[in-house]
A and B are shown apart, each in its own frame.
Chain A
Amino acid sequence: MSFRQIKAYIKRNLNGWWIVSILGAAVILLPILFVFLSIFETPSEHWAHIKEYLVKDYVIETLTLTFITAITTTLLGVSLAWFVTVFDFPGRKILRWALVLPLAVPPYIGAYTYSTMFSYTGVVQVTLRNWGFHPSQDWISLTSMRGAVVVFTLFLYPYVYLVTRSFLERQSASYIENARLLGRNGMSIFFWVAMPICRPAIVGGLSLVVFEVLSDYGVTQYFGLQTVTTAIFKTWFGMYDVNSAMRLAAWLMVILAGFFLIERVLRRHRKYSASTSKSKPLQPIKLGSVKGTAVLLFGMVVLAAAFAVPILQLIVWATWTYQDVWNDQFMFFIGRTLYTAAVSTVIIMLLSLIVGSATRSRSWGSALLSRTVIAGYSIPGAIIAIGVLGVFLSLDQVYGEVYRLLGGKGTPVVLSLTAAMLIFGYVIRFMATGYNAVEVGFEKTGTRYSEASRLLGRSRLYTFWRVDLPLIKGAVLSGCILTFVEICKELPLALLLRPFDFETLSTRTYQYANNEQIHEAAIPSLLIIGISFISVYVLHYLDKRWET
């Protein structure tokens, strides 16, 4: 390629949209690189101690928790998906939709609620004692690995359930029908046909569960587990050793990369879709009254445990404490949560629209750019927080020096003490939620309208405002709602990156729960669940629209 050709290529492809997109991607990648580069720095004095005595235990406990939760969520999610797609029984339609509801309850809220309900003074033990039972505390207490597994399973199974259900409904009809014609019955079809063909879908849903468990701080910290994520917090807040926290974050990234590698291997040579495009919906088999009632009961018990019971308990606690909690200061926290989420969402959606527009052509550059801007979604909040902090501390150093060079007196504004750091963290972490919605919108409309507009002499910017944006406004709106909700309920990033005395709904819930003021935590928890419910509804609405 001659110099003239390279110049022509750059001239052809480089425009304002690309420049902004590349800058955005670079900024997003910066904190992640910061964490990686920390491995090559000289370790702090604490690191030798952490490495020798603690890392091994942290890694083992993290892996054990993740592994057991993966098995239990698979069992629960797949069996529920199987029942509501393959069989017809009274209440199936309601159950099919309602089983997604536990997604609206963040696991850390479930953890506080259940551990209090099962504590010595909680409703479960009091009731049992009233009935004359005196269970052992070791057996009934949830503050253990067992409790964490139960909580994660109850509130994360919908990920596996949703993906598997969708796969079974759309792709499995002919396989299951043929298996039945070949003389196989329910259980045999489940293990020999459904499970193997659903494997890629199950692995897909499971990878979301694994990611949630690895990034969790609320549940594991409350139940006293020693995971790598809790260790990052301890090193940061307990030892004030950012360098070691970064090294731990790098370790967590290694574990995460390992899980993604396993996911790839498990999906290898497996096709996600059927070999023919003609897929017809599965006709459910009608169950007899006994079997039908048993299946309905099973679904309802799960739904009660994962949604109705904790919500009812929270409502009861809320009635006890709302006079103390619902005051001007609390309204201020709500306003601050909504304001921070709104600012972050606007930045995310603007950047998503710019990158989405720039990367509509099929090229390796577009693919690379779009993957880079969403990199934050597959990285736990704690790692992003550490990276962001590293970047801001360096920025403060540079800024301070420039400030002094320019003759500034006194202390310059310290960027790492402002909410900008938290907003930056949110943008990196939730860029994918907004970007994916925009990308789906662009994919659905295709390039024909923009091409028509440009051939009629209109500029890229005009085409974007008058043609692209009106056509994808639905996708942009759903992206806005999903991103906003995700930010409102986020905990680890908010805990690590918030400025001094800065509270959001999630950090307030955490504070109450950690101060053993569980009843006071009910109102912020219910508000978070209410906001999360919006995202579950939006997802359900989008799913229905795509079906039609």
Chain B
Amino acid sequence: MSVVDIDQLEFSYDRKSKPVIQKLCLNIEQGEIVGIVGSSGNGKSTLLRLIAGLEVPSAGVIRINDKTVNDKSTFIQPEHRGVGMVSQDYALFPHMNVASNIAFGLHRMPRKKRQERVQELMELIQLKGYEDRYPHELSGGQQQRVALARTMAPRPSVVLMDEPFSSLDAELKQSIRSELRDIVKAEGMTCLFVTHDQADVEDMSDRYIRLGQ
């Protein structure tokens, strides 16, 4: 079953400028990890923002779990799309500790189940005991794992990741790639991530697409 289905997608920042994305079609199956690679400025991050509902396409259709979230007459707001996204800088809320960050999207769950889910994810990302720490008290790799856990906590249909390894040093990158892949696979999540580094897609994705030239 396809989780994300994109048809003839187009986007430009204003009417006069050249489209950043032109007639893009993409299909992602349940449980797949798909990488998108390409140089900067060719619309990789924009594509994620369009799927998430943070930007509005100029044309085309986006379907998530067979439900149209975007076409000529439909626009589903980001909070109702069931999409998770890990941004390049993680955007962990600086005024909340690790546990509160992870629990943030679990507001529809009863308190007990919410706590269980947080603990489950803390174990999965191997940060048990760090619940009360604040984001600035964590290393770059730890912050990234927390950001991923926060995104996966409400079990979104698809996890989008924008340049997930760009702010990590080369040594850490290697180990984090396989760690992240294991975490995503362990949760049975569908994942789409963008990167400019060929090694990232080769190590982490089931298949990858090259965007632009």
Whether A458 pairs with B107 at a CB distance below 8 angstroms is yes
Q: What are the residues of chain B within 8 A of A12 when measuring CB–CB?
A: 56, 75
Contact between chains at A459 and B79 (CB < 8 Å): yes
Shortest Cβ distance from residue A3 to the other chain B in the assembled complex, whole angstroms: 10
CB distance from B176 to the nearest CB of A (A): 20
Nearest to A362 among chain B residues (CB) is B13
Q: Is B143 engaged at the interface, CB distance under 8 Å to the other chain?
A: no
Tell yes or no: A448 within 8 A of B by CB: yes
Residues from chain A with a CB closer than 8 A to the CB of B150 are 452, 456
Q: Is the CB of B72 within 8 A of A5?
A: yes
Measured between beta carbons, the chain B residues less than 8 angstroms from A456 are 79, 84, 104-105, 150-151, 153-154
Q: Is the CB of B89 within 8 A of A448?
A: yes
Is the CB of A4 closer than 8 A to any CB of chain B?
A: yes
B46-80 toward A: CB 8 Å interface, digit per residue (1/0)?
00000010101000000000000000111101111
Interface residues of A in 458-484 (CB under 8 A from B): 458-459, 467, 470-471
Cβ-defined partner of B94 (8 Å) among A11, A451, A459, A471: A471
Q: How far is the CA of A5 from the CA of B57 in the complex (A)?
A: 12
> Is B113's beta carbon under 8 Å from chain A?
no
Q: Which of B73, B78, B89 contacts A455 (CB 8 A)?
A: B78
- Within 69-101 of A, Cβ neighbours of B (below 8 Å) are at none
**Taking the complex as formed, is B108 at the interface, i.e. its CB lies under 8 A from any CB of chain A?**
yes
Say yes or no: is A269 at the interface (Cβ < 8 Å to chain B). Answer: no
Complex Cα spacing A454 to B52, Å: 10
Contact residues in A for B95 (Cβ distance below 8 Å): 470-471
Residues in B170-192 with C-beta less than 8 Å from chain A: none
Q: Does B91 contact A (CB under 8 A)?
A: yes
User: What is the bound-complex CA distance between A451 and B78, given in angstroms?
Assistant: 8
User: Which A residues lie within 8 Å of B84 (CB)?
Assistant: 455-456
* Shortest Cβ gap from B26 to chain A (Å): 19
Rounded to whole angstroms, the CA-CA distance of A428 and B146 in the bound complex is 45
CB closest residue in chain A, given B56? A12
Contacts of B83 in A (CB 8 A): 455
Is A37 in contact with chain B by the CB < 8 A criterion?
no
Q: A8-B72, A12-B56 are in contact. Are A452 and B77 (CB under 8 A)?
A: no
Query: Which residues of B lie under 8 Å from residue A455 when comparing CB positions?
Result: 52, 54, 78-79, 81, 83-85, 151
What's the tally of chain A residues with a CB closer than 8 Å to chain B? 21
Whether a CB of chain B sits under 8 angstroms from the CB of A449 is yes
Distance between A305 CB and nearest chain B CB, rounded to angstroms: 46
**What are the residues of chain B within 8 A of A451 when measuring CB–CB?**
52, 54, 78, 85, 87, 91
When distances are taken between beta carbons in the complex, the residues of chain B under 8 Å from A452 are 85, 87, 91, 93, 150
Nearest-Cβ distance from residue A464 to partner chain B, whole angstroms: 13
| Contact across chains for A448 and B104 when beta carbons are under 8 A apart | no
In the bound assembly, the distance between CA atoms of A9 and B81 in angstroms comes to 18
B77, B79, B84: which has the most chain A beta carbons within 10 Å?
A: B79
In the complex, chain B residues whose CB is within 8 Å of the CB of A288: none
Q: How far is the CA of A537 from the CA of B104 in the complex (A)?
A: 38
Instruction: Encode A186-216 as 1/0 by CB contact (under 8 A) with B.
Output: 0000000000000000000000000000000
Given known contacts A449-B93, A467-B93, A471-B95, A7 and B73 CB-to-CB distance under 8 angstroms: yes
Nearest B residue to A5 by beta-carbon distance? B72
Instruction: Please report which residues of chain B, range 80-132, place their CB below 8 angstroms from some CB of chain A when the two chains form the complex.
Output: 80-85, 87, 89, 91, 93-95, 104-105, 107-108
- Which parts of B135-161 form the interface with A (CB within 8 Å)? 150-151, 153-154
A8: nearest chain-B partner, CB-CB: B73
A325 to chain B, nearest CB (A): 46
Residues of B within 8 A of A457 (CB): 79-80, 82, 105, 107-108, 154
Which 6 A-B pairs give the minimum distances between C-beta atoms? A456-B105, A448-B91, A452-B91, A12-B75, A454-B78, A454-B79
Apart from A455-B54, A456-B84, list 19 A-B contacts with CB within 8 A: A4-B73, A5-B73, A12-B56, A448-B87, A451-B85, A452-B93, A452-B150, A454-B79, A455-B52, A455-B78, A456-B104, A456-B105, A456-B150, A456-B153, A458-B104, A459-B79, A467-B93, A470-B95, A471-B94
11 contacts between A and B (CB under 8 A): A5-B72, A8-B74, A448-B87, A449-B91, A451-B78, A453-B104, A455-B85, A456-B150, A457-B105, A458-B105, A471-B94
